[in-house]
Structure 1
């Protein structure tokens, strides 16, 4: 005869708790990792196009050299494939001649393929004038 409340067997409860918590934490972690990857690529591309535009806007450089500098900046930090779609053109910036460098890239999900985030970044600079 038992005296007092019946005691439930709790063996295996830790495994269930672990699975329930893991189901929530893994997608959250992967989402944060994906966001960090996209922001890193975007910031690197932004820096590279800005530098490329400044380089192309100097008095002794051309648009092709600005594109080449942008690609070199990208290849120094990321996979060179991110620099495949880089272009430059002459634009008007507040009535002054300027240069715009544009880079387009696709950032795959966690770098593994699948659906990608499309990024387009622009860098501009006013052209130098020789006195």
Structure 2
């Protein structure tokens, strides 16, 4: 498979078509069948701690790369403007490193989200509230 088209959906279909990147903005997930043709479903979470999907002329770009090191095919590729750009297959060590990196990125994002704002931010917001601007 060398090309993907974008399909914005509410729910990802149970029987996805090859060459389609399904994106559910409501559920913050994208899914496609592996570009190598093995038939494996490849889901990715979207958002600040996950992947991003952009669109140009109906053609998707997804970042970071898709690494299927946990699948038998070990595929690794980018999808850019709907085109598959192949990278080297992922080794077991690369797969572990990528999973650890993803986990660390999510942990840092949610840790920062739950962090109490600094005193000056709270003060500024309080002042804006006093003047009906907050």
Q: TM-score range by the shorter chain?
A: under 0.3
More strand, by proportion: 2
Structure number with greater Rg is 1
Give the TM-score taking structure 1 as reference length: 0.22
More helix, by proportion: 1
Give the TM-score taking structure 2 as reference length: 0.22
Larger relative CO (CA 8 A, sep 6+): 1 or 2? 1
